[in-house]
Every structure is written in structure tokens, then in C-alpha cells.
Amino acid sequence: AQSVAQPEDQVNVAEGNPLTVKCTYSVSGNPYLFWYVQYPNRGLQFLLKYITGDNLVKGSYGFEAEFNKSQTSFHLKKPSALVSDSALYFCAVRDMAAGGSYIPTFGRGTSLIVHP
């Protein structure tokens, strides 16, 4: 079975500071990992994904995420936060093991608040 955990309900960071939104996952095979962002009253927007290759994945709006197989983590990062980055962030995982579902499982979401 595949699962994903976002251990923080909320992350607060000052504008200009680096931010990290944490995500850990559990799969039986190799993971296919996503990050999505949801702004207020909007749908989920794709930020980035990891399939294989370089462990550091770069995505939209200056975000990046680091895949760490030994720690089963895929934390979202940005070197310098903007107030406009304030939103709800969702991590998702799909298990690439044979016979696994092709439907990604989403985490509960982490609310990122960037203070001016």
C-alpha cells in the first residue's frame, strides 16, 4: 500500500527566509512523487514531480524538492520565501511496484504562511 505523511499542519516563515515543507512516504516499490499547491478557493496546481534521476527536482515558482530514498522523504524547498507563496501544499505519492495503483495518494496538506 502507498501512503504519504505531511507532519506539519502549518509552517510559518518570514519573507526572504528559506522554507521547507516536509513530506515522507511509504511504498513497496519505487516512488513517483509530486508536489501540488492550492491557493485559496482554487484548484490544485502542479509544482513538480520526481520519477527517476537527479534527486534534486526543480519546479515552478522557484520551488525545488529533494528526494531522499534512505529517509523516504521528498521535502519541498525554496531558498527565499515570498508572501505570495502562502498557500496549502500537498505532497502525493504513487507506488511504481508491479500491480500497484496508478492513482496517487495525497497527504493532508501543509499550510504555508509567509510573513512580510
Partner 1 sequence: EPEVTQTPSHQVTQMGQEVILRCVPISNHLYFYWYRQILGQKVEFLVSFYNNEISEKSEIFDDQFSVERPDGSNFTLKIRSTKLEDSAMYFCASSPDRGTNTIYFGEGSWLTVV
> Quick one: which segment of 21-29, 31-39, 64-72, 78-86 binds partner 1 (CB under 8 A)?
31-39
Residue from 15, 22, 26, 49 binding partner 1 (CB under 8 A): 49
Q: Dihedral of the CA atoms 61, 66, 88, 110 (nearest 10)?
A: -160
Supply 24's cell numbers: 515522507
Binder among 25, 32, 74, 89 for partner 1 (CB under 8 A): 32
In this structure, the strands spanning 3-5 and 24-26 are antiparallel
Nearer to partner 1, 32 or 81 (CB): 32
> Helix, strand, or coil here: 62?
helix
User: Minimal distance in Å, beta carbon 90 to partner 1?
Assistant: 6
Centroid of chain to Cα 77: 9
Which residues contribute to the site for partner 1 (CB under 8 A)?
32, 34, 36, 42-46, 49, 51, 90, 101-109
